[in-house]
Amino acid sequence: MTKIQESISSKVWDLKYRYRLQDKILDRNIEDTWQRVAKAVAKAEPLKERAHWQKQFHSILQNFRFLPGGRILAGAGTKHNVTLFNCFVMNIAEDSLRGIFDGLEEGALTLQQGGGVGYDFSVLRPRGQYVKTAGTVASGPVSFMRIWDTTSAILLSTGARRGAMMGVLRCDHPDIEEFVTAKENPQELRHFNVSVMVSDAFMQAVKDNAEWPLIFPLSKEEIKKESLHEKNIIYRTWSNQREPVPCRIIKTIRARDLWQKIIKSAYDYAEPGVLFEDTINRLNNLWYCERISATNPCGEIPLPPYGACNLGSINLTQFVEHAYTPQAKINWSELEKVTAIGTRFLDDVIDISHYPLRAQKIEAQQTRRIGLGLTGLGDIFIMMHIRYGSPESIHLAQRIMQTIAETTWQTSIALAKEKGSFPLFSPEYARGEFIQKFSATIRVEAAQHGMRNSHHNTIAPAGTISLLANNISNGIEPVFRPEYERYVRSPDDERLTFQVRDYALQVWRDLKKSEDKPPAWADVSSLLPEDHLNIQAAVQPYIDNAISKTINIPENFPFEKLEQVYTKAHALGLKGCTVFRPNPVTGSVLVENTEVDKCHVCGE
């Protein structure tokens, strides 16, 4: 049995993942947790094969080689009425009070059962627009986001799990300027992450210093009554709609002015992030049957309404052999083996999970999306004498992600042969742009045999589960700090403080008996934005979902250089970009101290 070495790791397990039924402790140790989860997930397999797959699932959970999403660790095999999915994208069906409050109710039910939620608020008409049916004036998307924010706060006061929300607004919505600055007030929308959905057309307008129309779709009544050929009517593909719809130009601004406001807000208080709409949809494996306009709270999985995050991460630190020697290498065959079993594991989770809403269950079973990723990348670079952001690190990151992706896709094809393709599979799937990145063998077999899962790979924040695995670096992020304070909240809301040490540093000191840092040491304080972007760009081509990535920049980072970061992110084909600079509004929480359950829910 593997012991949890760090006291905070033990505490995280005890507070977040240990199975208790009322006052009775049922998980005596981490081994019990692994056995519980493995047995529960294997129940999706045929009866005669369950014992075999329980053993296989247990084998990858041991030693933290595979880290399932936190909801799986906490909920699988328990009697708790919770979902095993970390996050969902929700729906506001229409711009009406009924549509708004139906969406609010669905979100509340999902938050109550442990899932984070993301919304595209672009469907709501702009502030000041006359609502003919009610004889009133619209208050705009941001005002209704405050209702969601209050609801989340109330649920927290009842003891519900801390769940994040994502609010998205299109770059051409008339209220976009209000949305961009909504969180400059430290008391506003504290339970939301916010992101702007940016189009290629907008990026071109920024480049050209052109005017940019802010628009809103015509209602059905307006379409019947008005000429659709007027100068102030243009066609755009709006929220979740696959075909362009007629929209009225409400006002026109300079694209570059809006772009500067977005970047200034990110510089001053770390939000909003940006999502690149056309890149997301161009590379969507389900391009033939859906259009995406929102993501989960941390941005690593763009999803249609009621889509869900089913997450798991390969802990790369457990595949490095001969660390800190000239012979340091990755055990590629073992990495492929664990990836294949992890793919099957996540596919089985779809069938054993509880869903807060029937619509979420239907969507999950129709597409069978999974998000298998990696964590610990920053640590293994150090353990293999490679500096984060160097050409060697870029090449290795690319090879690792390609290996994981190809193994995941091959396993999904094999599962399709064994269990059948996801119901929305179509021959058009094999003609998608993303799948063309793979070998002819994968493309041909996908066309012949289908796919078990519509989507396969992602990079989640993996913050809390990385802490559980003895404080490895999370996701594809660089190491945060050699040592720093980490906070954990207990069930009675007491804040517990731990001094933690990075995993790679601890391994170095155990091996070398030295207080110095390893030769290839690099953390967020010593890296440039280009280092972050280049690593993200190296793995993005093999990830059919997306990546949760934060570019930490120092407080004195020149504002004029930040625009280059966002522009380069778009040019590199990334699906989104988020930066964090210490500031008076959000403080320096990502630089000095981090609270385990502060905001993110993905991978916890």
- 3-state SS track over 246-268: EEEEEEEEEHHHHHHHHHHHHHH
The HSE-up count of residue 128 (CA atoms within 13 Å, CB side) is: 5
Which residue intervals of the chain bear CATH 3.20.70.20?
1-86+304-527, 87-295
Mean pLDDT of the 465-471 span: 93
The pLDDT-based confidence of 441 (bands split at 50, 70, 90) is very high
In the set 86, 240, 281, 296, the catalytic residue is 296
- Give pLDDT tens digits for 470-502: 999 999 999 999 998 887 777 677 788 888 999
Mean pLDDT of the 448-466 span: 95
Q: Determine the Cα–Cα distance for residues 309 and 287; give it in Å rounded to an integer.
A: 19
Please check the confidence at residue 603 and state whether its pLDDT lies above 90. no
Class of domain 1-86+304-527: alpha beta
Percent of the chain with pLDDT over 70: 93
Mean pLDDT of the 169-175 span: 98
Out of 47-51, 233-237, 378-382, 404-408, least confident range: 233-237
In the set 277, 290, 300, 477, the catalytic residue is 300
Please check the confidence at residue 544 and state whether its pLDDT lies above 90. yes
Out of 4-18, 98-112, 298-312, 428-442, least confident range: 4-18
In the set 87, 171, 247, 298, the catalytic residue is 298
Please check the confidence at residue 543 and state whether its pLDDT lies above 90. yes
The pLDDT-based confidence of 158 (bands split at 50, 70, 90) is low
Bridge partner list, 38: none
Residue 492 CB neighbour total at 10 angstroms: 5
* Averaged confidence pLDDT in the chain: 92
Following DSSP, what letter does each residue of 453-492 receive, concatenated?
-S--B-B---HHHHHHTTSPPPTTPPB--SEEEEEEE-TT
Amino acid at 477: E
pLDDT of residue 226: 67
pLDDT of residue 20: 94
Please check the confidence at residue 343 and state whether its pLDDT lies above 80. yes
User: Is 247 labeled as catalytic in the residue annotation?
Assistant: no
User: Is 298 labeled as catalytic in the residue annotation?
Assistant: yes
Q: Put residue 309 in one of left, alpha, beta given phi > 0 → left and psi -120 to 50 → alpha.
A: beta
Please check the confidence at residue 460 and state whether its pLDDT lies above 70. yes
User: Is 296 labeled as catalytic in the residue annotation?
Assistant: yes
The pLDDT-based confidence of 155 (bands split at 50, 70, 90) is confident
pLDDT of residue 1: 36
Please check the confidence at residue 11 and state whether its pLDDT lies above 60. yes
pLDDT of residue 597: 41
Out of 115-119, 512-516, 582-586, least confident range: 582-586
What CATH architecture applies to the domain 87-295? Answer: Alpha-Beta Barrel (3.20)
- H helices present in 158-216, as ranges: 176-180, 200-208
pLDDT of residue 115: 87
Beta strands in 224-336 (DSSP E): 233-236, 245-254, 273-276, 294-295, 302-303, 311-315, 320-321, 329-330
Please check the confidence at residue 44 and state whether its pLDDT lies above 90. yes
- Give pLDDT tens digits for 247-256: 999 999 999 9
Mean pLDDT of the 224-230 span: 69
